[in-house]
Structure 1
Amino acid sequence: MFSFLNRKSSPESSPNAGKPSSPVWRVDHLHRFHGGIHPAEHKAESASSPIQSLRAEGLLVLPLQQHIGQASEPVVQVGEHVLKGQLLAKPVGYVSAALHAPTSGTIISIGMAPVPHPAGLPQTAIILQADGEDRWIERESQPDFRQMDPAALRTLIRNAGIVGLGGASFPTAVKLNPGEHAAPVLILNGAECEPYITCDDLLMREHGEEILAGAEIMMHALGSQHCLVGIEDNKPQALEAMRAAAANRAKVQVVAVPTLYPSGGAKQLIEILTGRQVPAGGHSIDIGVVCVNVGTAFASKRAVIDGEPMISRIVTVTGSVREPRNFEVPLGLPMEQLIQAAGGSPLPIDRVLMGGPLMGVALHRTDIPVIKASNCVLVMAPEQNQPAAEAMPCIRCAACVDVCPARLMPHELYWFARAGNFEKTQEYQVFDCIECGACAYVCPSEIPLVHYYRHAKQEIAAQERERDKADLARRRNEARLARLAREKAEAEAKRAEKMAAMARAKASKENGESSAAAPADAQPAQTVEPGAKPAKKALTPEQQAKLDTALAARRASQISATTAEEKPKTAE
């Protein structure tokens, strides 16, 4: 087990107090990751009201691509009536997730529709017309999940469409498959460090018991022995609720971590709790840790114990709205409906973000749907969204280096990305950038640094796709040439075999004719000495008669020719 954990026996915290308890692993002290910033939090506005559920109604737009990996594939037809929780699209490939109906209704179309996309591009979606009845399918629960094979448990989670709800939307079933690695520690991420967002805070306050039930499901799937729950210390109510839920769970430890952005990054939280760093280009499983969001654990509990697939999520609606709060929102509901449920904006809306102010995605419209990655809808009035000042030249102050949690050199990455030297950006580990925005936050020149890093990543990815296409074309051409050469060689071999067979047949035929022409009492051929004339064979009377006739005709022909040549001379 890891050296950062101290092995202790805690009979007081065991549900079987007074009996010998199994050893547990506890965090003795915290560590600090490099960098970080302290932006204004703006969390109190939306954290003062309980979660409110919104009803699925009207048209629900359900994109097939709501997760990292391959888009799901529809299994329903236009005009089909479906029930709440029914499978609409199945996962395709290993890294994919299923999609289910958030309510009962009729499929009215399957095609391109506006979705939350950084470039405003439409994507393929299933559009469901809710019937208002909200009728469920027959649900199957697995309360005794500890008796299930871990692989079967992961399959259940995959079929329930569970993805990471912290923003990355990585399919959870893939993350819960350690493969050849050991995963002794599961970390639940409840840090929620970005300003304005409070959906995890309220979820932990109201559903701590269910979150830890989901953690136990994940521990069984991973084979983990201990669970650490990391929560920033600016959430005292969430800490209290989670500690109460963990009181009778000896393998679960709730840890308060210092409030520092971006402590909610998976790599940063792992380092805070364990002192270990995820290697560059690697994954947390490489050091025996798996980190998931508390919302993901809650969704896993619902899927396994309640038999409910992922059809909704908690969303913070805040900023320039009259009643900032958190809602449990059916997937596919328009974001405009959430804004109106929060009382609408008292001021003209200047900008709407999906996510927080540092890592959020600007939306081009508000009639687009809530998806699995929608943790926050941040409405900004003109005075909250001051136009960015014109970027000034980099003065190489290195303030960005001081705050970068990934220990990168942001100013160098900026220069290389700006110059289009993407090979150098890779040498400087651009893909280790978590795009937290801390560098741009402290930049005195107000350079939008993250924009350059994203551009570099996109260009490198595009170049790699082109190289893959070129490699594929090259391999196909080489395979074609090899096939042609092989076919030619096979044809030559067949031709040579055919010629050899013909030669053998001819030789066999000639030998057969010679044997048939020879008389039965024929004497063996005599050996002819070198220089000696072969002896003449005696002719039969018939053969001799034919020969005499032929010789007589030849002599007559010669006499006739001689006479024809002498006639002109006589005439002269």
Structure 2
Amino acid sequence: MEIKELADLLQKNGVVGAGGAGFPTYAKLDKRAETILMNCAECEPLLKLHRQLLEKHADEIVSAFHLVMETVGAKEAIIGIKKEYKKTIEALKGVIPNYSGVRLGLLDEVYPAGDEVVLIYEVTGKVVRPGGLPIESGVIVFNVETLYNLSRAMHKSEPVVDKLVSVVAEVNRPVTLRMPLGATVEDAVRLAGGAKIKNPVYFVGGPMMGNIMPGSTPITKTTNAILVLPENHYLVERKRAKPEIMLKRAAASCCQCSMCTDLCPRHMLGHPIQPHLFMRAATCKDVQDPSIFVDTFFCCSCGLCELYSCFQGLSPRTLMAEYKNGLRAAGVKPPVVQAAPVPRERELRKAPMKRLMARLDLVKYNVPAPLEDKCVGVKSVKIPLRQHIGAPAVAAVKDGDVVKRGQTIAEPANGLSVAIHASICGRVREANANYIIIDSTENQA
């Protein structure tokens, strides 16, 4: 298959990165690629969907992975997967011999193994330039579910209309559900047996990099997890803290121990990010060295510094994000720099996932969340037209139109964009530049 043919298929069927920022997959295809990676590190604590999906659909996903390798002309295709995902590894070993050039890249059970810069180094030994793209190092990284969506589009003519979501923590039935796009967080929690607690807080996206969201928040192409937590949980209290209070706390108690920097996964790959120096400069309003603030661009926001490293409970990640957003708003761009050599002590400074979960008070929630692979039914959906990096899709339906599941309801905009499709059969209640609401016309739950 030619790159343009595959790119058109991906764009037409709305395939984007199924996690993170949702980068349109068609735009990743590049003849410069020497290596392509499948990310099955399952980076965030408690998430289980990627390993479950890959175990169940190993041949379909590896076949799609191999097709991408051949299309871009890469020399090898590596599946980055943690050693402890033994059932998934066993399933992969049964199909990999059928695909030349594909191999496993086994990872330790540490955080953030799924950060693509960390993943690339672990399985290839290559360091991505600070602020650079993986393709500069001859690498493209794909999410497991993204490749599954490619397989569905190619072999079943099915566009992306649903999303796997792990619904865990304080629910009666921890589970991984296939939710129609545009269904709500509350729909997912209800289908997981409902919350076990009063006044639940919905942590969407994972405990380290997710955010507190209202129950009405729609499921999108990048929604991986919903954690249902009590109001007084450690993560909820940390997330609700105000930046101005965080800054005052840092001014009062940051002792410059440098633990946040010493354990920073990007710093340990030679990137010029030093959270402890930022904390000192920010709290003292010291602007003698502007590079300390500009270097916040190289923070990947993994949250390890504030949720694991700092024994004072300070918040480098959150404060750096505030400064980074301010720099972007002011038109400042990250400088072009090269990574320093990777220090030998890096291997001794990885954060074990078990210890991280203990710090976050999540161990009691680390229970099975079985995969239910059939898409569930809902009464209505509110489908955002911006579910990916780039330009939002342009509505192609109007109020009152009757649509079928899988029908294109929004076309790709000019520039970086993909199509969006109806996730249920129904009638369009409202269509505008931001979202499309569809009410079901079927007998759905």
**TM-score computed with the length of structure 2 as normaliser:** 0.67
- Deviation of residue 420 (structure 1)? 8.7
Residue in structure 1 matched with residue 301 of structure 2 by the alignment: 435
**Counterpart contact for 2:260–2:305, Cα < 8 Å:** yes
Distance in 2, matches of 1:296 and 1:290, equals: 13
**1:412-491, aligned counterparts within 5 Å?**
412-417=277-282, 419=285, 424=290, 429-440=295-306, 441-464=308-331
**Counterpart contact for 1:351–1:385, Cα < 8 Å:** no
Change in CA separation of 1:243 and 1:422 when aligned onto 2, cut-off 3 Å: farther
- Deviation of residue 159 (structure 1)? 1.6
Q: Alpha-carbon deviations, 1:285-308, whole Å to 9, x = none? A: 111111111111111111122211
Q: Does 1:207 align with 2:73?
A: no
Distance in 1, matches of 2:217 and 2:311, equals: 35
Change in CA separation of 1:280 and 1:319 when aligned onto 2, cut-off 3 Å: same
Change in CA separation of 1:394 and 1:350 when aligned onto 2, cut-off 3 Å: farther
Letter in 1 for 2:325: Q
Aligned-pair Cα RMSD in Å: 2.2
- Deviation of residue 225 (structure 1)? 2.4
**1:371-450, aligned counterparts within 5 Å?**
371-385=220-234, 387-388=237-238, 391=249, 392-407=252-267, 408-417=273-282, 419=285, 424=290, 429-440=295-306, 441-450=308-317
Q: Of the two, which has the highest radius of gyration?
A: 1
Residue in structure 2 matched with residue 6 of structure 1 by the alignment: none
Distance in 1, matches of 2:287 and 2:166, equals: 39
Change in CA separation of 1:325 and 1:402 when aligned onto 2, cut-off 3 Å: same
Residue in structure 1 matched with residue 24 of structure 2 by the alignment: 171
Q: Does 1:293 align with 2:158?
A: no
- Deviation of residue 325 (structure 1)? 1.0
Distance in 1, matches of 2:288 and 2:118, equals: 26
- Deviation of residue 330 (structure 1)? 0.9
SS for the counterpart of 2:111 is: coil
SS for the counterpart of 1:379 is: strand
Change in CA separation of 1:425 and 1:203 when aligned onto 2, cut-off 3 Å: farther
- Deviation of residue 240 (structure 1)? 1.3
Distance in 1, matches of 2:298 and 2:278, equals: 11
- Deviation of residue 415 (structure 1)? 3.6
Distance in 2, matches of 1:351 and 1:278, equals: 37
**Counterpart contact for 2:274–2:292, Cα < 8 Å:** no
Change in CA separation of 1:348 and 1:266 when aligned onto 2, cut-off 3 Å: same
Change in CA separation of 1:432 and 1:314 when aligned onto 2, cut-off 3 Å: same
- Deviation of residue 414 (structure 1)? 2.8
Q: Does 1:227 align with 2:77?
A: yes
**Counterpart contact for 2:305–2:316, Cα < 8 Å:** yes
Change in CA separation of 1:399 and 1:464 when aligned onto 2, cut-off 3 Å: same
Change in CA separation of 1:416 and 1:305 when aligned onto 2, cut-off 3 Å: farther
Distance in 2, matches of 1:327 and 1:269, equals: 27
Residue in structure 2 matched with residue 547 of structure 1 by the alignment: none
Distance in 1, matches of 2:184 and 2:88, equals: 29
**Counterpart contact for 2:63–2:99, Cα < 8 Å:** no
SS for the counterpart of 1:246 is: helix
**Counterpart contact for 1:416–1:424, Cα < 8 Å:** no
Distance in 2, matches of 1:201 and 1:152, equals: 29
Change in CA separation of 1:331 and 1:367 when aligned onto 2, cut-off 3 Å: same
Letter in 1 for 2:301: E
Higher RCO (Cα < 8 Å, 6 or more apart): 2
Letter in 2 for 1:295: E
Distance in 2, matches of 1:402 and 1:164, equals: 30
**TM-score computed with the length of structure 1 as normaliser:** 0.53
Query: How many percent identity over aligned positions?
Result: 30
Give 1:156's match in structure 2, choosing from 9, 14, 17: 9
Distance in 2, matches of 1:156 and 1:423, equals: 48
Q: Alpha-carbon deviations, 1:161-185, whole Å to 9, x = none? A: 111113221111111134xxx2121
Q: Alpha-carbon deviations, 1:115-165, whole Å to 9, x = none? A: xxxxxxxxxxxxxxxxxxxxxxxxxxxxxxxxx321121121112111111
Change in CA separation of 1:420 and 1:315 when aligned onto 2, cut-off 3 Å: farther
SS for the counterpart of 1:156 is: helix
SS for the counterpart of 1:216 is: helix
Structure 2 gaps, min length 5 = 268-272, 334-445
Residue in structure 2 matched with residue 535 of structure 1 by the alignment: none
**Over 3 Å off, 4+ runs:** 382-392, 415-423, 425-428
- Deviation of residue 324 (structure 1)? 0.6
Residue in structure 1 matched with residue 44 of structure 2 by the alignment: 194
Letter in 1 for 2:7: R
Residue in structure 2 matched with residue 511 of structure 1 by the alignment: none
Change in CA separation of 1:176 and 1:420 when aligned onto 2, cut-off 3 Å: farther
Structure 1 gaps, min length 5 = 1-147, 467-572
Letter in 1 for 2:113: S
**Counterpart contact for 1:417–1:425, Cα < 8 Å:** no
**1:50-69, aligned counterparts within 5 Å?**
none
Letter in 2 for 1:442: S
Distance in 2, matches of 1:452 and 1:425, equals: 16
- Deviation of residue 381 (structure 1)? 1.6
Distance in 2, matches of 1:373 and 1:213, equals: 23
- Deviation of residue 271 (structure 1)? 0.3
SS for the counterpart of 1:305 is: helix
SS for the counterpart of 1:214 is: helix
Distance in 2, matches of 1:321 and 1:421, equals: 47
Distance in 2, matches of 1:435 and 1:398, equals: 17
Count, aligned residues: 315
Distance in 1, matches of 2:3 and 2:212, equals: 39
**Counterpart contact for 2:66–2:102, Cα < 8 Å:** no
SS for the counterpart of 1:169 is: coil
